[in-house]
Copies of this chain bind each other. A is one copy, B any other.
Amino acid sequence: MKVAVLAGGVGAARFLRGVVAAVDPAGVTAIGNVGDDLEILGLSVSPDLDSVLYALAGRSDEVRGWGRADETWNALESVSELGGDDWFRLGDRDLGLHLVRSEALRRGEPLSAVTARLAAALGVELTLLPATDDRLRTIVETRAGAFSFQEWFVARGHRDEVDRLHFDGADSAAPAPGVLAALDEADVILIAPSNPFVSIGPILAVKAIREALENRRAPAVAVSPLIGGRAVKGPADAMMTRLAGGTAPRQVADCYKGLIDALVIDEADADGAEIPGVRTIVTRTLMDDADGRLRVAEAALEGAAALR
C-alpha cells in the first residue's frame, strides 16, 4: 500500500512510527516541513526533517521529547563561552548531522538528495522528502514585529501572540522531486497530528502541493493535534484560538478545507463534533507508547479505507 503523509516535527515523527508499524515502510513517503529551517553558526538546520529522521531511526530522546538520545552539549557550551550564537539548542551528535548536511548543501546538493543520504545512513526505511528544495521560511507576524519561526518559537519562547503567518519563498517554491508523484500514486494521503499553521501550513503553501491535495484521487485523512482542545505540546491550541476562532474539531478541519475527507479526533473532542463534508473518526489520539502510535495510525488508515 502506498501512503503519503504530510509531516511536521515531533508529533508527526511519532505518528509516522505508527504508520510504518501498520504498513510496509517501503510504501510510505513522508513530506516534511522546511518552514522552520534555520541557518545558525553557519549551519543549515532542518529541525522537523531531523525529528522524523531521528524518530524513525530510533535515535530520538523520548524523555526530553526532541533531539537525539545520549546527547551531549559540549560544543554549544564552548560556543557560549566564546560569545557565539547559543540560543538554538544544538547537541553534539545532532551537530554532526548539521555539519554533513551543511557541507553538502554548500557544494550544491539539493536538500532532498542530502536528506535521502542521511536517511539511508541512519537506516530509515520510509522515504522522507522535504516539501521543497527551495528556500521557504515561516515568518510569524506579531505586535512585537515579524520573526522567523525559530526566533519566535525558541529565542522568544513563543510569547508573542501571532497575528498572521506568511511563508517567505512559497510563491516560487517547487515541490521537491518525488513529492507530487507520491501524492499522485498514494492509496491514502494522511496529514500528521502537527500544528496546522506552522507545521503543515508551510507544506501546503507550496502551490503545487496544495493543488495536488485539492485534486486528489485518494482519500485524505488528517489527524487532529489537539486533545480536549489542548495541544499535547507547543502552541497549536493558542494559535487555533487566535487564528481559527477555536480549538474544536470543526476548526481543525477548517484549516484543511477542501483538502481532507476525514479527521481523526480524540474521544475527548467527540461530543457534537459533526463537520459538514468531513467524516470524523474517534479514537484515543495520545501517542505515548508503541500501542498508542499504532492505534492512531490504524484509525487514520482504516478511516481512509472506509472512504475508498
Give A contacts to B, CB under 8 Å: 41-43, 70-72, 74-85, 91-97, 99-100, 102-103, 106, 117-118, 121-122
A81-B121, A83-B117, A121-B83 as given contacts; A41 in contact with B103, CB under 8 Å: yes
Let me know if A100 and B76 touch, CB within 8 A: no
A42-B106, A100-B41 as given contacts; A95 in contact with B83, CB under 8 Å: no
- Nearest B-chain residue to A83, judged by Cβ: B121
A74-B93, A92-B72, A106-B42 as given contacts; A100 in contact with B122, CB under 8 Å: no
- Nearest B-chain residue to A120, judged by Cβ: B83
Q: Which of B41, B85, B91, B93 contacts A77 (CB 8 A)?
A: B93
Closest 8 CB pairs of A and B: A78-B96, A84-B100, A74-B92, A75-B96, A92-B92, A79-B96, A75-B95, A41-B99
Q: Which of B42, B74, B84, B93 contacts A78 (CB 8 A)?
A: B93
Let me know if B106 and A78 touch, CB within 8 A: no
- Rounded to whole angstroms, the CA-CA distance of A254 and B53 in the bound complex is 58
19 contacts between A and B (CB under 8 A): A41-B103, A42-B99, A42-B106, A75-B95, A76-B96, A77-B96, A78-B93, A78-B94, A79-B100, A81-B96, A81-B122, A82-B97, A82-B100, A82-B118, A82-B122, A83-B121, A84-B96, A84-B99, A84-B100
Let me know if B102 and A82 touch, CB within 8 A: no
Q: How far is the CB of A87 from chain B (nearest CB, A)?
A: 14
Let me know if A84 and B72 touch, CB within 8 A: no
A96-B82, A121-B82 as given contacts; A42 in contact with B102, CB under 8 Å: yes
Q: How far is the CB of A298 from chain B (nearest CB, A)?
A: 32
